[in-house]
Structure formats: C-alpha cells, structure tokens
C-alpha cells in the first residue's frame, strides 16, 4: 500500500520527514513551501490530502482544483485561512488541530502580560538606548498584578489555560464568551461578563483568545478601546484580524493603553508602512517602548511544534484509512 496516496504540505514545513514517518505505508509526502496561494497552482491538484499551516490562504479557486482530496487539515487552531464553506460544498472535510499548543500560547500570553505590566519591556528598551535615568521611576507608576482584573475574550482551551495561570497569581479573572455554557465560571472560579462592554469597563488587562470570524473581526477598535479604563493593557495571541491594529499607536500615545503585546497581525509579515509597525520602530513614538511585537510565535515550542505536525499527519492518516475524523470544522 506504500505510496498509494499523495499528501501535500502546502507551507511552513520544508522537511516532511516526520509526516512521512506517520504516513509512509500509505502515502508519499511532498512539501511545497508556498509563500502565496498562487504558488500552489499545478502542485496540489492530484493531492489526496492537504496539510495547511498559516502562511497562505486556501481559497475557493484552489479548492475547486482539488480532484481527489479526502481531507484538508489545518495544522493549528484557527482555520480562517481555509475556505471551509467551499470545501464543504465540494464534500471535503476540513479539520483543525485545536489542542497542540494550549500551554505554549497561554505561557506566551502571560509572558507578554508580565513584561508589560511590570515594566520589563519599557525599561529594557529605554535603558538599552541610553534614555532616561537608571531608575525604576522611568516605568512609574506600575501596578501590582495580584487583585487586578484580567479580562479574557474567548474561554476555550487557551483562554481557560490563561485563566488558570492568572488565577494562580491572584488576579481577578472575568471572561466574555457568549458560546460558553453556563457553569464554566463556577467550575473555574472566574466571573462571567454578559457583554463585551461589561468586560472592557473593568479590565486592567484584556487578552484575546477567540477565533477570527465575521463576528469578531475588528472586535477591538477605537470605540472598544475607549471603553477600557485609562492605562489598560491589550494582549492578542489569537488572530490578527480581531484587532484593528492601526488604532493602537494613537491609543498608546494618549495613554488610553499603557501598552500592548501583539503576537499576530492582519498581514504577516507586515509591511514597513503598517501604522503599528511604523510607530513601534520609531524611537520618538511611545509605542517604541510600550508595544511588544512577536512574529506569530506564541504557539511555538519544540514540543508544541512536534505535537502540531504529528496530530496533523494523524488526522490525514485517519481520512485515508476511512476512519472517523476528529475536529471537523465544516
């Protein structure tokens, strides 16, 4: 049965040895390393399965060219870069890998929060550049985390992991998630906000852990930022489009935001003209010291990356063997 099927890894992974080890008796694994959807043309049409990461989109035109595809596995949590509705019409199930990096993203979220709220990022930036005095006063006033309120948007696996970490640190955790059943707050020892404005009004730190959907696109914009207490912090390790990032520089300059930790952007990599990137790189702009930007790395640890690739390949294996699929999103 070796080589009966063909599996294509569309992007991100350049060496499919791990996947080949899982699928070796069933399929040949090819890697495309595409940087754009256009680069897939002529290379995926005969695939029996696709393993898709986050560098590219897989839209309707690409899906319509798949003649024999049995499954598309999005190796990650978010799946907005795959036209899953079109795939459903074509009879192609789309699966994700929702549990590979829960601990890693939660840890990265806490790292952003601590670096911002404790002044680590700001002081490191200013002292490295020789600006200001060698003193804590450059970051004053800093507030104690214990007893402060963390607002979480989206209490799924990662949001829950963040809530547990923050609770262990003595923070008051409140969440907004209209799709979370009643009782989640009681089980976790957190509070539920009935609306986003209710959450925003009381959050010293707000952390986003929701998928990108038409409902959540630009959920955080100039109007919602204005509902936060003056001097709050924003952290986004979810999806870039959940935040209108163009409004962050002005919010930081005005002091409405004391800082922001951004791991995901609407366009990756961003252009130099991106308003947030331009402000972050400008030593004269407050965002230079008060914004942390990382290149979509919250998911990453060596263990998490292996989990993601292994679980993605196992999902393909189930499809090729005709076994029940897990985590079908369409």
Q: State the catalytic residues.
A: 239, 268, 296
Cα–Cα distance for residue pair 61/114, rounded to 1 Å = 44
Residue pair 171/148 in contact (Cβ under 8 Å)? The answer is yes
């Amino acid at each position: 049965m070796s080589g009966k099927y063909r599996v294509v890894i569309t992007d991100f992974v350049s060496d499919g040895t791990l996947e080949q080890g899982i699928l070796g008796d069933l399929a040949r694994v090819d890697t495309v390393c595409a940087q754009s959807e256009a680069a897939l043309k002529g290379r995926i049409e005969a695939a029996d399965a696709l393993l898709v990461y986050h560098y590219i989109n897989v839209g309707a035109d690409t899906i319509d060219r798949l003649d024999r595809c049995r499954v598309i596995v999005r190796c990650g949590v978010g799946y907005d870069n795959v036209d899953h509705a079109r795939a459903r019409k074509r009879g192609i199930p789309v699966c994700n890998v929702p549990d590979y990096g829960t601990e890693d993203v939660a840890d990265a979220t806490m790292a952003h929060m601590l670096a911002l709220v404790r002044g680590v990022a700001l002081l490191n930036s200013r002292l490295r550049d020789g600006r200001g005095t060698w003193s804590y006063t450059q970051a004053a006033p800093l507030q104690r985390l214990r007893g402060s309120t963390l607002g979480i948007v989206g209490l799924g696996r990662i949001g829950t992991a963040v809530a547990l970490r923050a609770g262990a640190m003595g923070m008051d955790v409140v969440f907004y998630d209209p799709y979370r059943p009643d009782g989640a707050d009681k089980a976790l020892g957190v509070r539920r906000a009935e609306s986003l404005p209710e959450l925003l009004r009381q959050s010293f730190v707000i952390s986003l852990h929701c998928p990108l959907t038409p409902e959540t696109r630009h959920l955080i914009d100039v109007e919602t930022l204005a509902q936060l207490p003056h001097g709050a912090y924003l952290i986004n390790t979810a999806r870039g489009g959940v935040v209108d990032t163009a409004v962050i520089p002005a919010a930081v300059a005005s002091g409405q935001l004391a800082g922001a930790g951004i791991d995901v952007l609407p366009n990756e990599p961003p252009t130099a003209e991106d308003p947030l990137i331009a402000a972050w790189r400008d030593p004269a702009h407050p965002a230079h010291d008060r914004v942390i930007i990382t290149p979509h790395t919250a998911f990453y640890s060596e263990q998490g990356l292996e989990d993601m690739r292994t679980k993605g390949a196992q999902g393909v294996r189930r499809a090729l063997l005709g076994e029940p699929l897990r985590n079908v999103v369409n």
